[in-house]
Amino acid sequence: MFRTISQRLLPRCTSMRQKHTLPDLPYDFNALEPVISAEIMLLHHQKHHQTYVNMLNQTEEKFMEAKEKNDLKTMIALGPMLRFNGGGHLNHSIFWQNLSPNGGEPEGELLEAINKDYGSLENMKNIFSSATVAIQGSGWGWLGYNKTTKTLAITTCANQDPLEPTTGLVPLLGIDVWEHAYYLQYKNVRADYVKNLFKIINWKDVSVRLAFAKQ
């Protein structure tokens, strides 16, 4: 997040904050059709995620200004904005990678872990789906990794609360059930959206995240 410029160039130490930027999608906006429409992908990426990025940068700016003035009350007051927009940025950055037009099926160590902790892929998907569909309001369903117990876990977070800072679990696969993620296409039938989403999961990405988490 910060770079320190050499003291030979600037006699007083200065740090420069690198701004967060919207990551590109690894596929075209229409690549996930018919599961997720191009219209949704466009709005979701260029409006919603972009807004989280912009607001996160603004919030970090204000936070640093407050820090320089030693204004602790403001630093604390900015917490919810940092969490909401920072979480939004973290979550969506994972989400775009979690999806793929040709995602395949879980294999290798990921499949072993799923079978060990859930009995079967089918069982994991059922538990994951029910938990996610039952979320009250806006939030995310997550398949996560518990580094302490070395097990997979399914849980949910409200709004944009990011999984790891909130629960300690390492995020492997997220399902966004904010209405903006599906409403234009699925209307109120969240269950259909969640069911269809499993057709476009990038299981290689989920495997890579698990491998990293285990290191």
Annotated binding site for Mn(2+): 44, 92, 176, 180
Q: Cα separation of 142 and 213, whole Å?
A: 15
Q: Is 74 in the site for other proteins (CB under 8 A)?
A: no
CA dihedral 189, 194, 200, 205 (to 10 degrees): 150
Count of residues that interact with other proteins, criterion CB under 8 A: 20
CA distances from 171 to 15, 54, 73 (A): 30, 23, 31
Residues 34-53, interacting with other proteins (CB under 8 A)? 43, 47-48, 51
Other Cβ atoms less than 10 A from the Cβ of 202: the count is 20
Query: Is 194 within 8 Å of 129 (Cβ atoms)?
Result: yes
Q: Cα separation of 10 and 29, whole Å?
A: 45
Query: Is 27 within 8 Å of 100 (Cβ atoms)?
Result: yes
- Of the pair 27, 183, the CB lying nearest other proteins is at 183
Shortest CB 199 distance to other proteins, Å? 23
- Of the pair 15, 46, the CB lying nearest other proteins is at 46
Question: 203-214 and 79-98 are packed helices; what angle lies between their axes, rounded to 10 degrees?
Answer: 120
Shortest CB 191 distance to other proteins, Å? 12
Shortest CB 176 distance to other proteins, Å? 12
Residues 134-193, interacting with other proteins (CB under 8 A)? 136-139, 158-160, 178-180, 183-184, 187-188
Shortest CB 139 distance to other proteins, Å? 8
Binding region for other proteins (CB under 8 A): 43, 47-48, 51, 80, 84, 136-139, 158-160, 178-180, 183-184, 187-188
